[in-house]
Structure 1
């Protein structure tokens, strides 16, 4: 059963004009591995029902690009996601695997998503107030340029970084970043009472789900929606996250 989690993000750096703005994060669909286009259509409907202002996808669209045969139909579904202030995505490790790099880029652009590849996007209102969203390439299979990209982050602007793997957070925390949004972990996908997550991929072993504070950086790890390696989840519900910005 899909879990919708909602959280308020408070900061003096969030401009008054952004107060109440809704940012939705979804992650790790892994299309093709027990996750169909019909499932994707249902997710899109659920996303639109929340009326988000900004939508962020934090990687791993298709499980295996070499074997997935329905990739040409994905964009026509994803493009139905509505977000008046923009839709943004980053690479996950599966998006680079199986020669998926160019295909993922094509699908996301056809879907109306701006792919943040070691780059920044400023969201600016008519009063010229703004927030910043950075996106880094995948830490495992991509070519992330952390220093080169984040050196442009400003102390006086509320700044979000999208990076697929959460365990890079201590390095992100050395820059003036307010919020890191990640996926990759699947919340462990399978959790055992009193033991916790037992399936944790590389760079998702320290931070597996929910909120963390690392040297002043707020990290949120989304459990994702799909599955990989094993065809089920246990005590790790698939998740879509809605963040409400609050000027305080």
Structure 2
């Protein structure tokens, strides 16, 4: 018969092993995910879109910086950055340097709350139980980040800012119209500023936002955008193997916490891609069953 103390000791050992894996290996196990999305007009050649999100750069994160620099080797046609680039107010130069090779490509960006404000320490278990019960509506801001420096770096490279704005980029001979919102997680989104639906004069129109709140997804989808790109969720960050995310840090269902899915609203349907991102809050530097990622989306002809 197994001694009574053996069970809690076994649980403790398994828990310690999971923490060691999550904090020591998986949080740096950077990967590239790939999806095909049929949204282009007939006759158009495929477009390769690289989405980076939730970098949460902290000064000194050399491995992450080298990996981000290496993404240019994927040779995307354009880049979409869906926000939360910072987790350290001193890390703007390192974030821009890490993204440097990608800044040489056509691109666009929106900001997330962590671009504007530094994170605050929180008990991860409290965060989890709160999200399982439901969002309490409170936003806890840390110190103000120098987001203007980040914006100026992106703008000077030619990336298009989409915080409650529309913009255009040209990639592979196609005109891409983009409509973006500032971060709904801290209620900076102003859909009325960009309402009106896709730009019919462009070859393709895309919608971009940091946090995939349902009110935003409903608005973009009902207006007729074929594809919405978002981040924010970290894919659940601490997931259950073979099950997936438990939380999304917004009102999106956990089943769509990362990857490609669809969204329906107003009698229309759009593709939704949510990036699990490649970083973490500096105070919770762990991932489990949810490796850090960037995504290469190949846009193909509509079926």
Structure 2 residue 116 is the aligned partner of structure 1 residue 96: yes
Task: Give the TM-score normalised by the residue count of structure 2.
Answer: 0.70
Output one character per residue of 1:13-41: Cα deviation in whole Å (capped at 9) or x when no partner.
53634x122111010011118x7144213
Check conservation: 1:54, 1:83, Cα contact below 8 A. Answer: no
Output one character per residue of 1:55-101: Cα deviation in whole Å (capped at 9) or x when no partner.
11100001143xxx3423432342222654x1211111111223234
Segments of 4+ moved more than 4 angstroms: 124-127, 203-206
Task: Give the TM-score normalised by the residue count of structure 1.
Answer: 0.84
Check conservation: 1:123, 1:132, Cα contact below 8 A. Answer: yes
Unpaired runs of 5+ in structure 1?
none
Tell me the residue number matched to 2:68: 43
1:197 to 245, 260, 283: 245
Cα 1:5/1:153, change in 2 over 3 Å = same
Instruction: Note the 1:14-53 alignment, pairs <5 A.
Output: 14=41, 16-17=43-44, 19-32=45-58, 36-45=61-70, 47-53=71-77
Check conservation: 1:55, 1:83, Cα contact below 8 A. Answer: no
Unpaired runs of 5+ in structure 2?
1-28, 118-142
Cα 1:223/1:16, change in 2 over 3 Å = same
Worse-superposed segment, 238-247 or 196-205:
196-205
Tell me the residue number matched to 1:4: 32
More helix by proportion, 1 or 2? Answer: 2
Cα 1:124/1:30, change in 2 over 3 Å = closer
Cα 1:75/1:131, change in 2 over 3 Å = closer
Pairwise CA RMSD? 2.6
Check conservation: 1:132, 1:159, Cα contact below 8 A. Answer: yes
Structure 2 residue 80 is the aligned partner of structure 1 residue 56: yes
Q: Secondary structure at the match of 2:185?
A: coil
Cα 1:191/1:76, change in 2 over 3 Å = closer
Distance in 1, Cα, partners of 2:207 & 2:245: 25
